[in-house]
């Protein structure tokens, strides 16, 4: 009786071995899954920051196509350079540089300069894009043509009778010298104190706030690029990966030992092969998800990412919108001017495809 009570139960041993195998893989799979979606979120962030940059360029800078493309192309080139450097060797191949040139993002001379740069190359391109924007904002400030500026300086050597303050030419030139002071005021002053900081620097408030917005968008793009590069450079520690392989070998050996007395050898052999395929496949899948920049099935489609950013930039810059202001386009009526005090979608025509009867019944 005592010997039978101390004898291990085969079902308990089998469940213990399988649960140990599951606990061995759970942390590694969870870490690979988290890393995979973290990299994907930063890829989406690069696309989003690029869209915001294009919108800012379209809103605040000149309508000249050359000016707009010069301010946008460096950021697109930064994304190309980042993705191409992650999907292969550290240095870009001649074919990849040729693709960047054919898409009119960089000249051959610029490719050579960027390729010889020893630092973080995407951030170099982002800073070049910021320099282009800075040049245009300075030009707008000098000519008093900043779109968001409500009080433009008046340059005159003769007294002028006006309610607006008169700024002499010497004072206007002096304001140009305070550009860097205004940049520091925007960067370090609290948001509530921005107007006073800009006036103290002798710089137009609207232009300096626009520059601050460009800075925030550019540095957000840099952050996403750096996060991707640093995550890829931080692989799974070798000791952890080696321990995982040893645990896989030990667990599979224990599973084979437990399966032997359970059934006939053809059944146990088929079951053991299936278990081995599952565990080894999960391990290889986790390894593949740790670096999703390549040519495997689970890797990101980086060319689709780049094509989406590139096509959106071109479409957005080419699109010409019409500002109606206080008027309405022909064919539209203002619902605010309806005589009824109450009204909404319930009193307006609806689409049968969007509002299904079963859905409206519950609303």
Listed in sequence order, the residues at least 6 apart from 231 whose beta carbon sits closer than 8 Å to its beta carbon are 35, 38, 39, 42
Mean pLDDT across the chain, nearest whole number?
A: 76
Quickly state the pLDDT bin for 244 (edges 50, 70, 90): confident
Listed in sequence order, the residues at least 6 apart from 118 whose beta carbon sits closer than 8 Å to its beta carbon are none
Q: Can you point out the beta strands (E) in the chain?
A: none
Q: Is the pLDDT of residue 343 over 70?
A: no
Query: Residue 321: its pLDDT value, please?
Result: 86
pLDDT digits (tens, 9 = 90+) for 90-144: 678 899 999 999 999 999 999 999 999 999 999 999 999 999 999 998 887 776 6
DSSP bridge pairs for 167: 155
Contact 196, 53 (CB under 8 A): no
Query: Residue 258: its pLDDT value, please?
Result: 84
Q: Is the pLDDT of residue 181 over 90?
A: no
Q: Is the pLDDT of residue 314 over 80?
A: yes
- CA 218, 219, 224, 226 dihedral sign is positive
Higher pLDDT, 164 or 55: 55
pTM: 0.70
Percent of the chain with pLDDT over 70: 66
Query: Residue 12: its pLDDT value, please?
Result: 55
pLDDT digits (tens, 9 = 90+) for 183-241: 444 444 444 444 444 443 334 666 788 888 999 999 999 999 999 999 888 877 778 77
Q: Is the pLDDT of residue 353 over 60?
A: no
Span 7-33, mean pLDDT? 59
């Amino acid at each position: 009786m005592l010997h039978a009570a101390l004898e291990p139960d085969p079902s308990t041993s089998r469940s213990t071995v399988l649960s140990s195998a599951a606990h061995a893989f759970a942390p590694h799979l969870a870490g690979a899954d988290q890393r995979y979606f973290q990299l994907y979120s930063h890829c989406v962030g690069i696309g989003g920051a690029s869209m915001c940059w294009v919108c800012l360029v379209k809103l605040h800078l000149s309508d000249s196509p050359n000016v707009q493309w010069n301010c946008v192309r460096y950021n697109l080139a930064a994304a190309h350079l980042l993705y191409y450097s992650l999907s292969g060797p550290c240095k870009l191949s001649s074919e990849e540089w040729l693709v960047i040139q054919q898409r009119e993002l960089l000249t051959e001379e610029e490719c050579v300069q960027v390729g010889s740069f020893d630092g973080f190359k995407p951030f170099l391109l982002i800073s070049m894009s910021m320099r282009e924007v800075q040049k245009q904002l300075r030009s707008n400030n000098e000519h008093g043509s900043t779109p968001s500026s409500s009080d433009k300086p008046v340059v005159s050597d003769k007294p002028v009778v006006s309610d607006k303050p008169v700024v002499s030419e010497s004072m206007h030139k002096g304001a140009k010298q305070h550009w860097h002071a205004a940049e520091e005021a925007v960067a370090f002053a609290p948001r509530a104190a921005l107007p006073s900081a800009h006036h103290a620097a002798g710089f137009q408030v609207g232009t300096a706030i626009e520059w601050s917005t460009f800075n925030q968008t550019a540095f957000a793009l840099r952050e996403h690029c750096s996060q991707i590069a640093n995550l890829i450079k931080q692989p799974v520690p070798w000791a952890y990966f080696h321990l995982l392989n040893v645990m896989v070998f030990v667990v599979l050996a224990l599973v084979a030992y437990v399966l032997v007395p359970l059934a006939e050898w053809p059944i146990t052999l088929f079951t053991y092969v299936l278990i081995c395929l599952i565990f080894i496949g999960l391990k290889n899948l986790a390894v593949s998800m740790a670096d999703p920049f390549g040519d495997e099935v689970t890797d990101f489609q980086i060319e689709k990412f780049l094509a989406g950013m590139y096509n959106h930039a071109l479409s957005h810059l080419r699109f010409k919108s019409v500002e109606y202001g206080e008027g309405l386009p022909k064919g539209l009526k203002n619902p605010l001017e309806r005589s009824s005090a109450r009204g909404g979608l319930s009193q307006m025509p609806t689409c049968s495809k969007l509002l299904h009867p079963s859905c409206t019944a519950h609303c």
